[in-house]
A and B are shown apart, each in its own frame.
Chain A
Amino acid sequence: MKRAVLMRSLPAPAPAALPSPVLAPQMQPPAPNVASEQSLFRINAIVRHWLLQHRDQIRTLAIGAVSLALFLLSWHFLATYRVSFHVRFTNVPTPVQVFQSLARAAHNGRLLQHVVLSCRRIALGFIIATLIAVPLGLVMGRFRFARDVIFPISEVLRPIPAIAWVPMSIMLWPSNEESIVFITFIGSFFPILLNTLHGMASVDPVLVRASQSLGANEFAIFREVYFPASLPSIFTGLTVGMGVAWVSLIAAEMISGQFGIGYFTWEAYSLVQYSDIALGMICIGVLGLSSSAIIRGIGRIVMPWKTNT
């Protein structure tokens, strides 16, 4: 019994040890044979310490959960009693109905198909935008001539919303798929470019001089100083760009798509499948949330110096 308790509580200290991964190896003396009672006491202390340390986060999490539950509850009542005071909840599906239609859609795999296709479009458009905008921003930030040439063009094109590109895009690209990917690309391109430029502008000149006095050549300065110094800004751009990419994608799919989660939502409206509308919307929300979480996660891996505080 005691062993079982130990085993179950063993994974717990792992996150507690995480905040100070550097100090841990030096501060913990190698103690292979500690009495189990003593280690149990220590684990208990660590858990308590962890709880104390993360009190604010736990509190935030709890409040968030309650607030979400309240939101669902009010949605449920508004839809069940078909409340109508100027805003009409008459045809709005209840959360339960949405859940049922999710179960149905999950069963026949149709929804998943749409989701996968949308994700592929996002991934393609966003990755291509990143691969072009980041190097372009770095070069524009470093070389004045490049900036003077490219900046005016980007300033003219930037205010045009990605949705306004839909007709042009359909004309430009041979297939519907390519034109939708292009819209996604356009949407995320400018936020990424501008933030990369901003990052380049805010590089501390002392760091550049320090690298020069350590023997860095032009390419090394670029790779070792300008690029890492701009990374926080670049990731801000990626997060914003990802948001805009989803906005653009959904709009494009609603206008010209035959597949995709935006098309699914619009089709549900045309076919009077009201619960599918809400299902589509929730899917879009979850997808947007997860994609920005992925970017944040990558950012944390790529910039360990930012999270190690």
Chain B
Amino acid sequence: MSEQTAGVIDNIADASVASGKGRIEVSHFGLSYASAEGPIEAVADAGIVVEPGEFVSIIGPSGCGKSTLLNAVAGFLKPTRGTVRVDDEPVNRPSADRGMVFQQYSLFPWKTVRENVEFGLKMKGMERSRRESAARTLLGLAGLLAFENQYPDRLSGGMKQRVGIVRALATGPKVLLLDEPFGALDAQTRIIMQQILTNMWQRLKISVLFVTHDIDEAIFLSDRVYCMTARPGTIKAEITIPLPRPRQQSMMMSSEFLALRRGLMSLISEESLKAMSGEVNDDALQGLTIDTHGHALSEMI
């Protein structure tokens, strides 16, 4: 077991911090798509960098193109303008070098937990017995071994995402990309998942690019946070999070955390309003333009 464990950890570590690799560089990124009313610019001139072993989040109002940016790093989208590079190699197709975790649970329902984790290794051509023991080791390290033979349908949402993260790490990717992975979870589960993810990262030191719209989540997890503007999305600010590591949930009450939160909050709410500009004006923001003083609305009319 210990020998295998070491082997698997080496496998992952090799690809990330040990060789000092896993640098993401997106520069002058732009993406537009055609529509009936002419081309629509989703992202314009966005530039980000993730240094090897760094945890970086992108935060922004919904529809600002943060997922688009992440999908381009994953290789699912081609930028209209600019370049996406990982370790100085241009990204042009999805690859196991860039592990991806999706918001929608993306485990294969027809594969057991272990077979899901094995998938990337199978695609690499690893023989059955080796990948089986590698997957078991990984699941054991993540405390999921008891569920190795379960089908995903029987797992809770949090469990599915944990398996999803382990699956993405199994091939030893250079970087890990997460697209609002905890967005569909309830608040309590989300907090636990954040703790698990930060602890996991603490041990792996893999480069992570994390997309979220949750400010607390971004601050809690990240070394740096990029804040994006409303459509067309571009990088509005870059905030370094100087909180000590390892991170604990109790830090979320610290004055340092709250100050960061306040700063990011004002940046985001401005953009959220802009993003909803067509839908929300000053009147709408008040909820109602009249005060009914406790009377039912139907009476007033």
Chain A residue contacts of B153, Cβ below 8 A:
305, 308-309
Q: Which residues of B contact A217 (CB under 8 A)?
A: 123
Contact of A224 among B74, B119, B146, B154 (CB under 8 A): B119
> Given the complex, which residues of B lie within 8 Å of A303, measured CB to CB?
110
Closest to A228 in B: B110
Q: Is the CB of B123 within 8 A of A220?
A: yes
Q: Across the interface, which residues of A come within 8 angstroms of B120, CB to CB?
A: 214-215
Closest to B106 in A: A210
Whether A213 contacts B110 by the Cβ 8 Å rule is: no
Which of the four size classes fits the interface of chain A? 20 to 34
Decide: B167 and A214 in contact? CB cutoff 8 A: yes
**Nearest-CB residue, chain B, relative to A225:** B108
The listed residue (B123, B151, B167) touching A216 by CB distance below 8 A is: B123
Flag the segment in B42-50, B92-100, B285-293 that touches A. B92-100
- For the residues of B in contact with A, the DSSP-based class is loop
> Could you say which interface size class chain B belongs to?
20 to 34
Q: Tell me which residues from 186 to 233 in chain B have a Cβ below 8 Å from any Cβ of chain A.
A: none
B171 at the interface (CB under 8 A from A): yes
With A209-B74, A305-B110 given, can you name 13 additional A-B contacts, CB distance below 8 Å?
A206-B106, A212-B94, A213-B75, A214-B167, A215-B96, A215-B123, A215-B171, A216-B119, A304-B151, A305-B111, A305-B153, A308-B154, A309-B154
Show 25 residue pairs from A and B whose CB-CB distance is below 8 angstroms, ordered by the A residue: A22-B150, A209-B94, A209-B100, A209-B106, A210-B102, A210-B107, A211-B108, A211-B119, A211-B123, A213-B76, A213-B94, A213-B95, A213-B100, A214-B119, A214-B120, A214-B123, A214-B167, A214-B168, A216-B123, A217-B123, A229-B110, A305-B109, A305-B151, A308-B153, A308-B154
- A positions within 8 Å CB-CB of B: 22, 26, 204, 206-207, 209-217, 220, 224-225, 228-229, 231, 303-305, 308-309
The interface of chain B, by Cβ under 8 A from chain A, is: 74-76, 93-96, 98-100, 102, 104, 106-111, 119-120, 123-124, 146, 149-151, 153-154, 167-168, 171
